[in-house]
Each structure stands twice: as C-alpha cells, then as structure tokens.
Amino acid sequence: MTDYVRPDIAVMSGYVPGEQPPPGKYVKLNTNENPYPPSPAVSRAIAEAVQSGLSRYPDPLCTAFRLRAADVLGVPPDWILCGNGSDDILTIVTRTLVGQGELLRLPYPSYVLYRTLADIQGARYEQVHFDAHWGLTAEFARVVPDLKLVFLANPNSPSGTMVSREQILELAARLHCPLLVDEAYADFADTNCMDLVAQNPKIMVSRTLSKSYALAGLRFGFVVAHPSLIAEFAKVKDSYNCDALAIAGATAAIGDQAWLLDNRRRVLATRARMAQLMRELGFAVEPSQANFIWCTHPERPLQPVYEKLKANHVLVRYMNYPEWGEGLRISVGTDEQVDACATLLKVILNDGAHGTN
Ligand SMILES: *Cc1c(COP(=O)(O)O)cnc(C)c1O
C-alpha cells in the first residue's frame, strides 16, 4: 500500500518520542515531565468544565486562556495563539512560513522534532552544529536564499544550556526570516526572551504547559508573536485545536503563579543536588537551565549504562548524535527518584570498573 503514499513521507523515519511505559514500573526520568502534581486549581477547573457540559464546540481562540496569560506575561492577548501542546504550535508555524522545497534552519544537537516537521512539509532543512560549549556559531545567522524559518530551543535540549538574550536579538537582526525561540523549559531558567518579541517582530516565543506546569498529559502550548503573524497562524491551525477541558485546565494552571514559583524552587534545588551527585560519579555535567541535566562520561560507553539502569527500573534518555557524541539526558525527578538513580549508577559504574557484568 505504500505506493499510494507521498514518496517523501514513505522514506522518512518519523519522530520517535521517549518511551511511555505503563505507570508504576519505572522511576521515570526520560521525558522531562514534572515529578509533582499540578496546581489543585487545574482539576477543579476541569471538573467544572465537565459539569457545564461538552456538547458545544470549544472557543476556537481560547480567549479565557489568552486573557489570563496576557496578564501573567505582560503581552497583549492578540499576540498569543494556543495549540494542542507546543508541538502543535511548531507544526502550525512551519506550515505557515515554510513552503515545499524551501529551507528551515535548526541547531544540532537539539530537539529532533524540528527535522521531522521539515520532512512532513516537504521542506529542506539545514542543521547547524553548536560549538563545543553549546554556543551558536556565525553560521547560524548566515543569510541564504529560501531560508524561511529558524528554530532555536532555549534552553536547549538535550544540553540544558542557553543562548543569551543579546545573541538572540543580534541573530534576529541579521536573519531575513522569523526566528522561533522554543522556550519549553524557560520557567526553569534565569532569563527568557518573552519581552524581545515586542523589540523585533521576527522573534517569536513558544511555551508549553507540559513541563513547568506538570501538564504533559493535558496537551497545551502557545506562541507569542507579532499580531500580523498570529492572524496568519490562525488560518492554518485546526479550527478547534484545543479542547474545552484543556482550555479550562490550562487557564487555571497559568493563573496559579504561586504554584509555579514553588515548583520551580523545588526542581531547581534538586537539579543542583543531582548535578553534584553525577559529577561525583565521574560524569561531565553541563550547567543546566532546564529540568534535566546532560551527562557525558570521559571514559565509559553510556549505552550499556542506560540499559543496566533500565533493567533495574530506572528510565533515562540515552542519546547518540552522529558527528557529536553520546550522553544521558536525565530529568529532574523528586529527591527520592534522583537518589535511586544515583545509587544504582554507582553500583553499575563500579561493576564495570572491576571487569564483571
Ligand atoms: C517537550 C518539548 C516540547 C513540546 O512540548 P509539548 O507542549 O508537550 O508538545 C517542545 N520543545 C521542546 C524543546 C521540548 O523539549
């Protein structure tokens, strides 16, 4: 039957998300979910939405969320467009800005989905390598024909590192096309680029409620951009891309900034402890501005380490990037989860050192 499929789809491999095993089996540190429950306001709001009935279509523009978010973020509501997770936002932005055969730029190593979106669109992509310290090179700002969109995850995944606001402004000034700053992890960072959108209309910022609001299962994200771009994105998105329960839950979540700050404090405290534990075990750890840490090892191959962790019910993300190298991306869990992971790693690394299995 593949003869019926567009050839460029038939040859592409498709995005492979991190494993989602049945609940309870693993200490799950592989997909950067928040280890704590969301604001209690979320389930109350969803229960109320259920009570008032689901027979009507939801608000296509998520007005309630945009008003609340506008207040929290200090941007006008018509600068916000909502999506079914920020992956939906990335899809909408790509479909709106990049035509078939045109070019999309992304950093490497970074979020693998950007590449998949280019493939689905029948677009070309250009991966520009970070320098050895996860900084951008001049190549990233180069103006080339047909370049229609640049993606930049900031903080980046898998490294957890950040590019400065000054560099982002400079990058946008040089580029002849819009730049999407993917701020999926910005709530765990010291700074962000939200206010830069008003300084240069080529800068767009996307956010998600999946990580910092502990709502990966709800599916809600949004982009902040110049209203003239938002109006074009609105033409491309599915009419009802966010359902009534997600809108209710997300609106309650972003309204509870006290919960966000408290959660951030806990995650950042564990992140610091965790980085220290991993360094003591001999890993090199990038300074992280996100809710995960990127660990490489000067001597030990890491795939067997990942597999032994998994065999002992601790799930982390093993990444091996061609022309770059391998590492473990470990999400910041609870202190107990992090201790369980570190204790096990100590045993695994010692075993190997003594030549046994
Ligand atoms: C998790 C993640 C997203 C997607 O978030 P969703 O809102 O759950 O779709 C986007 N970008 C990066 C870099 C991420 O890590």
| Coil/strand/helix, residue 326 | strand
Tens digit of pLDDT for each residue in 148-173?
A: 999 999 999 999 999 999 999 999 99
**Does a structural domain hold residue 7?**
no
**100 plus 196 within the same structural domain:** yes
109 and 51 together in one domain = yes
For residue 35, name the pLDDT band (cuts at 50, 70, 90).
very high
Range of the domain at 180: 40-255
Domain assignment present for residue 129? The answer is yes
State residue 184 phi and psi, 5-degree precision: -55, -30
Q: What is the pTM of this model?
A: 0.96
pLDDT of residue 138: 96
Structure confidence at residue 218 (pLDDT): 98
What pLDDT, on a 0 to 100 scale, did the predictor assign at position 69? 98
Residue 345 included in any domain: yes
Q: Does 6 fall in a domain?
A: no
What is the whole-number distance in angstroms between the Cα of residue 64 and the centre of ligand 1? 23
Judged against a pLDDT cut of 70, whether residue 208 lies above it is answered with: yes
Residue to mutate, 33, 81, 82, 86, ligand 1, most ligand atoms under 8 Å from C-beta: 86
More confident residue, 17 or 294: 294
Verify that 289 and 227 share a domain, yes or no. no
What's 114's domain CATH number? 3.40.640.10
According to DSSP, residue 181 is labeled: E
pLDDT for residue 275: 98
Do 99 and 221 lie in one domain? The reply is yes
> Looking at the structure, do residues 246 and 116 belong to the same domain, yes or no?
yes
Cα(240) to ligand 1 centroid in Å equals 20
Residue 317 lies in a domain: yes
Distance of CA 226 from the midpoint of ligand 1 (Å): 21
pLDDT greater than 50 at residue 356: no
Same domain, 211 and 79: yes
Backbone φ and ψ for 324, nearest 5 degrees, come out as -130, -60
Ligand 1 atom showing the smallest separation from residue 210 Cα: 8
One domain, residues 125 and 238: yes
Taking CA atoms, 56 is separated from 14, 96, 250, in Å, by 34, 28, 19
Mean pLDDT of the region 211-230 = 98
Q: What pLDDT score was predicted for residue 357?
A: 45
How many domains is the chain partitioned into structurally? 2
Looking at the structure, tell me whether residues 80 and 208 fall in a common domain. Answer: yes
d(CA 269, CA 60): 39
User: Which residues approach ligand 1 with their CB closer than 6 A?
Assistant: 85-87, 111, 153, 157, 182, 184, 208, 210, 216, 221
120 burial level (CB within 10 Å; 0-12, 13-18, 19+): middle
The pLDDT assigned to 32 comes to: 97
Q: How far is the CA of 90 from the centre of ligand 1 (A)?
A: 9
Q: Is the pLDDT of residue 287 over 90?
A: yes
What's the CATH number where 305 sits?
3.90.1150.10
- Same-domain pairing of 269 and 250: no
Among 255, 289, 304, which residue terminates a domain?
A: 255
Strand pairing report for 103-108 and 124-129: parallel
Whether the CB-CB separation of 206 and 90 falls below 8 Å is answered with yes
- Angle of CA points 34, 340, 329, to nearest 5°: 55
Does the residue 2 lie in any domain? no
* Residue 355 belongs to some domain of the structure: no
Q: At 177, is the pLDDT very low, low, confident or very high (cuts 50, 70, 90)?
A: very high
State residue 353's pLDDT score. 62
Percent of the chain at pLDDT exceeding 70: 98
- What values do phi and psi take at 316, rounded to 5? -125, 175
Share of the chain above pLDDT 90, in %: 93
Region of residue 206 (left: phi > 0; alpha: psi -120 to 50; beta: else):
beta
Average pLDDT over residues 174-181: 98
Indicate the residue among 186, 220, 255 that finishes a domain. 255
Q: Would you say residue 86 lies in a domain?
A: yes
Cα(249)–Cα(154) distance, rounded to whole angstroms?
A: 25
Q: Identify the pLDDT of residue 352.
A: 66
Identify whether residues 30 and 67 lie together within a single domain: no
Q: What are phi and psi of 340, to 5 degrees?
A: -60, -45
| Summary mean pLDDT of the chain | 96
Which atom of ligand 1 is nearest to 216's Cα?
8
**Tokens in use for 284?**
């090199």
Stronger pLDDT, 357 or 74, i.e. the higher one: 74
Stated as kind and residue range, the H or E segment containing 85 is none
Query: Same domain for 128 and 268?
Result: no
Instruction: Please compute the mean of the pLDDT values over residues 134-142 and round it to a whole number.
Output: 97
Averaged pLDDT, 280-288: 97
**Local confidence band at 354 (pLDDT 50, 70, 90 cut-offs):** low
Of the residues 255, 276, 303, the one at which a domain ends: 255
Which two structure tokens, joined as six digits, stand for 269?
């405290």
At residue 18, the pLDDT reads 82
- Nearest atom, ligand 1, residue 208 CA: 7
Are 130 and 74 in a shared domain? yes
Is the peptide bond preceding residue 22 cis, with omega within 30 degrees of 0?
A: no
8 Å CB contact between 146 and 191: no
Contacts 24+ apart (CB under 8 A), 271-279: 271/188, 271/332, 273/335, 273/338, 274/330, 274/332, 274/338, 274/342, 277/338, 277/339, 277/342, 278/330, 278/342, 278/345
